[in-house]
Structure 1
Amino acid sequence: MNLPATPGAVIAVLNCGSSSIKFALFDAGGAELPRQAWWGGKVQGIGSAQPRLQTQDGLDRALALGGDEPYHDALAVIREAIRARLGEVPVLAVAHRVVHGGAHHAAPLRVDAAVLAELRGYIPLAPLHQPFALEAMEVLLQQRPDLPQVACFDTAFHHSLPLVEQLLPLPYAAYERGLRRYGFHGLSYEYQSLVLPERHGELAGGRCIVAHLGSGASLCAMRGLRSVATTMGFSALDGLMMGTRCGALDPGALLYLMEVEGLDVHEAGHMLYHESGLLGVSGQSADPRALIAREAEDPRCAAALALFVRRIVREIGALVAVLGGLDLLVFTAGIGEHQAEVRRRIVAELGFLHLGLDDTANAANAAVISSAGSAVRVAVEPTNEEWVAARHARALVRP
């Protein structure tokens, strides 16, 4: 790495999921916060028989998280690893990616006991992530009450949505109670709003759709670098088909599963979050790469891929209609950044927009993958949610 061996101070970022915790340290000792993390890693396999600590400098170590609270144990491992790496270098703040900030939080905020209690109310809306971020905050509040913590919300970027994009077609009283479309992946989209003008100039401020395609997936339509429409709504189940999540679903199908097939609310929730999407349709994998390798001999793998692409294409078409056209299409996140074949299939079905793909550039995951004659620029831009969170935390704690 071409970063200082010993920063003057750091901002730590935690991104907590149900079975993994990613962490990153950003050098906060200079005038500008570097976009590349100074150091970081992850603990994965929490709750499994083989948890591991992996860091970006090559450490890969098996862990023993055999207690009653393996998540607490994993956080303790990360604290010790950071302490050993930093020595006397101070941590100015810890930034947390928090999936849901509700209707009121349009900006990051400092965490205290009252904030923590409020955010617990959003756990049912983001059960895969929300409780684990809050658990990390609670542990740190108990053990290091002097250390500033900052909650950075994935919903905040979408507070620019117009009312027509917030409303659900339910009785209006439901909206007043907080049942509305929130939108997610906001830290990723916020990063794109900052970096795309650097790469694409004025084009980025026009009619832009960003496709955040990973194990979770969504689209965001931006105009003037602000969110004007997005595919995820009230919860992180909505919109696109995902790795194990269903995406948009006829509510009548859910009623049928519960009323006729007898699923209770917990069983239905588990199906929609963990047993659907690419994994559910294919019966094989949530990873498109594995499905592409098997699709020639397995019709279900082929069907899962076709449905995944079709749902993305359908939603892009809907967002193009909202924007009144399209100037820039951007792929980001794990699938969007690295899986050229998925991008190729999506662009091929968008031929009505006169998109053209440069196959060589696409295979290389280049920054611009559209052909010279394409009517719409197609780009690949790696996301950087951790830097966005660190940037917000530094701004809140800087004297």
Structure 2
Amino acid sequence: MDHGMTGAGGATAEFILSLNAGSSSLKFSLYEAGDEPREIAVGQVESLGPNARFKARIGLEQVEDDLGSANHHVALRAILEKCETVLQGRPPACIGHRIAHGGVDYEAPQLLTPEVMEKLALLEPLAPLHQPHNLAAVRASIEAFPDALQIGCFDTAFHRNHPWVNDTFGLPLKYYDRGVRRYGFHGLSYDYITGTLARIDPELASGRVVIAHLGNGASMCGVLNGRSIASTMGFSALDGLPMGTRCGQLDPGVVLYLMDQEGLSASELTKLLYNESGLKGLSGATNDMRALEASQQLEAEMAIEYYTFRARRELGALAASLHGIDGVVFCGGIGENSAAIRARICNGMDWMGITLDARANTDNEMSIGIGRTKVLVIPTDEERIIARAASRALNERAMAKD
């Protein structure tokens, strides 16, 4: 296989590394920079800790390896070592990072300077499952590649300009001014889906669309003409839909009760709401939707029924926020792959013009609706959104040098 890569005019291509860091994994995509970045490797280091494992497609080859003990620093080194067949001694010129929370300050990709990193670290309590690990990957990247551009892309940015009524809570306004507001998440996914819609169906893209990003983390977003109007997630990534291990919408009185009557501390509540609830808590077994669908246990069916009921409820609420609906798009691991979950969510929604073509849905086709409201399945690609931002940053740097 020819790994030599050249850009326009025969110039050597620059590489972009896109990183998506979680508590137990480091996902990556490696791109050749360009107007539309070209993916040349994709994979992850999973099970960070004593038994980490590397899995990736590099060029045309599938690569797997046991790494032993690994943290984010070790995982990043392993990614670069495994990708040397395509890098050929040339380090990435820009590393783009998915960062869960950008707060009120950041609504566009940002160069990750020390000052910006300090501000982002202050947001860790708002996204404790994601933000600390996102920033750990940034620090590892800066240490490994001090000369590379480090770009942060924020999951909250897509929602930064939604209407005030969908941005606030019914609390004294002084708390809103202090940053207690609805931020929304999964913005990189929504950015990709709205961009894809604009390309494949401009008429629908200019209309009223509900996008359902359904995975271990799950949310839905009402979009009007490509702009976020309302999101199921709010101040934190706990709100809205039940998720793999997160509770979703919860009466705040429940939290007060658990503190006052059950004696749970803040750390115990955090563990309960983030790690022990959702599908895992309801089923008493697992957060894996595939395992729940295959299970014969009553609790598994109860968990699925609650999950799909809440999605139907939010679908109706988002349509009301949009003053109607023209289309629904499913994405994310569950949304893209589970025909049964899509069918259960859409069941009984004919009054909204949502009717599925059972065969198209079962076959995972892109267009699965036969009613007046279009229903689509579009695989999302958050890493490509990051790569595009990184490529723009490289172009801006090149122009500044000219």
Q: Secondary structure of the residue that 2:354 maps to in structure 1?
A: coil
The alignment status of 1:319 with 2:324, answered yes or no, reads: no
Deviation at 1:84, TM superposition (A): 4.7
Number of the residue aligned with 2:389: 392
Number of the residue aligned with 2:359: 360
Number of the residue aligned with 1:81: 82
Deviation at 1:33, TM superposition (A): 2.2
> Which whole-Å deviations, capped at 9, do the CAs of 1:218-251 have from their partners, x for residues lacking one?
0110101110111100000011010110011011
Find the aligned partners of 1:299 and 1:32 in 2 and give their Cα distance: 48
The residue type equivalent to 2:228 in the other structure is S
Q: 1:4 to 1:335 in 2, by over 3 A?
A: farther
Number of the residue aligned with 1:172: 173
Deviation at 1:270, TM superposition (A): 0.4
* Uncovered stretches (5+) of structure 1, i.e. residues with no partner: none
Q: Secondary structure of the residue that 1:54 maps to in structure 2?
A: strand
Deviation at 1:208, TM superposition (A): 0.4
Q: Secondary structure of the residue that 1:383 maps to in structure 2?
A: coil
Q: How high is the TM-score relative to the length of structure 2?
A: 0.93
The residue type equivalent to 1:306 in the other structure is E
Q: Secondary structure of the residue that 1:128 maps to in structure 2?
A: coil
Number of the residue aligned with 1:129: 130
Find the aligned partners of 1:90 and 1:45 in 2 and give their Cα distance: 25
Number of the residue aligned with 1:64: 68
The worse-fitting range, judged by mean Cα deviation, of 198-207 and 8-17 is 198-207
Q: Secondary structure of the residue that 2:94 maps to in structure 1?
A: strand
Number of the residue aligned with 1:13: 18
Q: 1:384 to 1:98 in 2, by over 3 A?
A: same
Contact persistence 1:65–1:74 (CA under 8 A): no
Contact persistence 2:330–2:376 (CA under 8 A): yes
Deviation at 1:100, TM superposition (A): 0.3
* Uncovered stretches (5+) of structure 2, i.e. residues with no partner: 7-12
Find the aligned partners of 1:139 and 1:290 in 2 and give their Cα distance: 35
Contact persistence 2:72–2:140 (CA under 8 A): no
Deviation at 1:209, TM superposition (A): 0.5
Contact persistence 2:241–2:249 (CA under 8 A): yes
Q: Secondary structure of the residue that 1:220 maps to in structure 2?
A: strand
Deviation at 1:80, TM superposition (A): 2.3
Find the aligned partners of 1:161 and 1:201 in 2 and give their Cα distance: 21
> Which whole-Å deviations, capped at 9, do the CAs of 1:172-215 have from their partners, x for residues lacking one?
11001100000100000001111012222211210100000000
Find the aligned partners of 2:35 and 2:52 in 1 and give their Cα distance: 38
Q: Secondary structure of the residue that 1:63 maps to in structure 2?
A: strand
Q: Secondary structure of the residue that 2:69 maps to in structure 1?
A: coil
Deviation at 1:378, TM superposition (A): 0.3
Find the aligned partners of 2:145 and 2:87 in 1 and give their Cα distance: 17
Q: Secondary structure of the residue that 1:51 maps to in structure 2?
A: strand
Contact persistence 2:35–2:391 (CA under 8 A): no
Deviation at 1:169, TM superposition (A): 1.1
Number of the residue aligned with 2:36: 32
> Which whole-Å deviations, capped at 9, do the CAs of 1:317-338 have from their partners, x for residues lacking one?
1011111111010000100000
Q: Secondary structure of the residue that 1:330 maps to in structure 2?
A: strand
Find the aligned partners of 1:386 and 1:344 in 2 and give their Cα distance: 28
Contact persistence 1:313–1:349 (CA under 8 A): no
Contact persistence 1:112–1:141 (CA under 8 A): no
Q: How high is the TM-score relative to the length of structure 1?
A: 0.94
